[in-house]
Amino acid sequence: MNNIKVVGVGGLAASNQADDIIKTFALGSCVAVIMLHPGARAVGMVHIALPDSAVARGNIGDRPGYFADTGIPALLKQMAALNWGVNDNRGMIVKLVGGAKVMDPNNVFTIGKRNILAVKKVLWSLGMGPRAEDVGGAISRTVTVPVATGQVHISSPGKEDWRI
């Protein structure tokens, strides 16, 4: 029996249990950062809504995953607790999904694009980078990752499912 761990907006989850499935629904301009650690057979996901936690003025509460600058370190910390050495990111595979665009010539509602850039900047600062990504476009995405396979499945209403 599979156990589905749903990651809400600003939430995160990590698991090395083969029966677990990590899932997040309806990414709009939000970005799901998925981390796969083949050695530990662990999978993690964070659902990032905004690029920078400065707007929360220190009040991010129990949702560090809401922002790129706090969400990625929080996910790494949670994954590090799963069986392998703290801060051992060697071999970690990162994939990105989401960051849909709003065509705004005023450049205010272009949060999807800014989320993708902010996520990559944080990853680069940690010596990491995405192996694969399915980002941008005018589309809502749901992401499902079975821990057993580490495959990243994407679905969107009205379209055939696909994988990265």
- The contact set with another protein (CB under 8 A) reads 9-10, 25-30, 49-52, 55-56, 66, 100-109, 111-112, 114, 138-140, 156-159
CB atoms under 10 Å from CB of 55, counted, come to 11
Judged by beta carbon, residue 27 or residue 80, the one nearer another protein is 27
Q: Active-site residue 67, yes or no?
A: no
Q: Which is nearer to another protein, 22 or 42 (CB)?
A: 22
**Contact predicate 102/109, CB 8 Å:** yes
Q: Of 19 and 52, which CB lies nearer to another protein in the complex structure?
A: 52
41/114 with CB nearer another protein: 114
Q: Kindly state the smallest distance separating residue 126's Cβ from another protein, in Å.
A: 23
CB 16, CB 41: distance < 8 Å: yes
3-state class percentages of the chain: helix first, strand second, coil last, to nearest 5: 20, 35, 45
> From the CB of 116, what's the least distance to another protein, in Å?
13
Q: Interhelix angle for 68-80 vs 111-125, to 10°?
A: 50
In whole angstroms, how close is the CB of 156 to another protein at the nearest point?
8
What SS3 class is residue 13? Answer: strand
Q: Which one of the listed residues 12, 14, 30, 68 is annotated catalytic?
A: 30
Contacts of 106 (CB under 8 A, 6+ apart): none
Q: 115: which residues sit within 8 A by CB, 6+ positions away?
A: 29, 30, 31, 48, 49, 50, 51, 68, 98, 99
Residue 133: CB minimum distance to another protein, A: 17
**Catalytic center residues:** 30
